[in-house]
Structure 1
Amino acid sequence: MKGGLALDPRRLRQRRHLWNLCQLLRSGKPGGYQYSQAFTRALLAQARLPADQPLALLSHFPLLPAFPWPDAWRVDFYIDATSRQLFHDYGIGKRIYSNYQQLVLEWERRAYESSGAVVCRSQWAADSVVIDYGIDPAKVHVVPGGANLDETQLAALPTVDPPVPPSQEQPLRLGFLGKEWQRKGGPFLLELADALQQRGIPTVIRSIGPDPARLPSHPSLQPLGFIHKQTDTARFVAELQSWHFGTLFSDAEAFGISNRECLRLGVPVLAHAVGGIASTLPDGGCGQLFAAHPSAAEVADWIATRLSPYAGYLAWRAALAPRWREFTWDTAAEQLAAILGGSAATFASAERRDRVDAQAVTGPVGAQPGIGL
Structure 2
Amino acid sequence: MKLVCCGDATDLATWSSTPLFLLQAGLKQGLFQGGLALHPQQLRRRGRLWNLKQVFTTGKAGGFQYSRTFTRALLAQARLAPDQPLALLSHFPLLPCHPWPTSWRVDYYIDATTQQVLADYGSGDRLATAYRQQVLERERRAYQAAGAVICMAQWAADSVINDYGINPAKVHVVPGGANLDEGQLAQLPPVPLPPPPSAEHPLRLGFLGKEWQRKGGPFLLELWGALQQRGIPTVIRAIGPDPAKLPAHPALQPLGFVNKQRDTARFVAELRSWHFGTLFSDAEAFGISNRECLRLGVPLLAHALGGIPSTLPDAGCGQLFAVHPSAAEVADWIAARLSPYAGYLACRAKLAPRWREFTWAAAVEQLTQILI
Structure 2-normalised TM-score? 0.91
Give 1:176 deviation, angstroms: 0.2
Residue 170 of structure 1 aligns to a residue whose secondary structure is: coil
Give 1:26 deviation, angstroms: 1.3
Partner in structure 2 of residue 296 of structure 1: 327
Give the alignment partner of residue 256 of structure 1, picking from 282, 287, 295: 287
Give 1:229 deviation, angstroms: 0.4
The 10-residue stretch of structure 1 (276-285 or 94-103) with the greater mean CA deviation from structure 2: 94-103
Aligned identity (percent) is: 77
Matches within 5 A, 1:52-131: 52-131=83-162
Is 1:187 matched with 2:223? no
Residue 38 of structure 2 aligns to a residue whose secondary structure is: coil
Residue 173 of structure 1 aligns to a residue whose secondary structure is: strand
> Could you tell me which amino acid in structure 2 is paired with residue 199 of structure 1?
R
Q: Distance in 1 between matches of 2:173 and 2:228?
A: 39
> Could you tell me which amino acid in structure 2 is paired with residue 325 of structure 1?
R
Give 1:27 deviation, angstroms: 1.4
Residue 243 of structure 1 aligns to a residue whose secondary structure is: coil
Is 1:220 matched with 2:238? no
Deviations 1:17-74 (A, max 9, x none): 0001001111111110000010000000000001001100000000000000000000
Could you list the runs of 5+ residues in structure 1 that have no partner in the other structure? 342-373
Partner in structure 1 of residue 69 of structure 2: 38
Is 1:141 matched with 2:159? no
Give the alignment partner of residue 201 of structure 2, picking from 170, 186, 209: 170
Partner in structure 2 of residue 205 of structure 1: 236
Is 1:244 matched with 2:275? yes
Q: Distance in 2 between matches of 1:237 and 1:28?
A: 48
Residue 258 of structure 1 aligns to a residue whose secondary structure is: helix
Q: Distance in 2 between matches of 1:139 and 1:207?
A: 39
Give 1:165 deviation, angstroms: 0.2
Could you list the runs of 5+ residues in structure 2 that have no partner in the other structure? 3-32
Give 1:160 deviation, angstroms: 1.3
Residue 34 of structure 2 aligns to a residue whose secondary structure is: coil
Give 1:102 deviation, angstroms: 0.4
Partner in structure 1 of residue 41 of structure 2: 10
Q: Distance in 2 between matches of 1:242 and 1:143?
A: 29
Q: Distance in 2 between matches of 1:85 and 1:143?
A: 18
Q: Distance in 2 between matches of 1:221 and 1:73?
A: 51
Partner in structure 2 of residue 319 of structure 1: 350
Partner in structure 2 of residue 155 of structure 1: 186
Give 1:98 deviation, angstroms: 1.1
Deviations 1:256-315 (A, max 9, x none): 000000000000000001100000000000000000000000000000000000000000
Give 1:252 deviation, angstroms: 0.2
Q: Distance in 2 between matches of 1:27 and 1:274?
A: 33
- Which aligned segments of 4 or more residues in structure 1 are displaced greater than 3 angstroms? none
Residue 119 of structure 1 aligns to a residue whose secondary structure is: strand
Q: Distance in 2 between matches of 1:164 and 1:183?
A: 30
Q: Distance in 2 between matches of 1:84 and 1:270?
A: 27
> Could you tell me which amino acid in structure 2 is paired with residue 82 of structure 1?
T
Give the alignment partner of residue 272 of structure 1, picking from 286, 299, 303: 303
Deviations 1:114-145 (A, max 9, x none): 00000000000000000000000000000000
Q: Which structure exhibits the higher relative contact order, with contacts defined as CA atoms closer than 8 Å and separated by 6 or more residues?
A: 1
Residue 319 of structure 1 aligns to a residue whose secondary structure is: helix
Q: Distance in 1 between matches of 2:279 and 2:48?
A: 35
CA-atom RMSD in angstroms: 0.6
Q: Distance in 1 between matches of 2:259 and 2:36?
A: 24
Q: Distance in 2 between matches of 1:286 and 1:151?
A: 20
Deviations 1:348-371 (A, max 9, x none): xxxxxxxxxxxxxxxxxxxxxxxx
Partner in structure 1 of residue 341 of structure 2: 310
Deviations 1:62-119 (A, max 9, x none): 0000000000000000001000001111111011111111000000000000000000
Q: Distance in 2 between matches of 1:107 and 1:25?
A: 23
Q: Distance in 1 between matches of 2:223 and 2:128?
A: 39
Is 1:333 matched with 2:350? no
Q: Distance in 2 between matches of 1:90 and 1:184?
A: 12
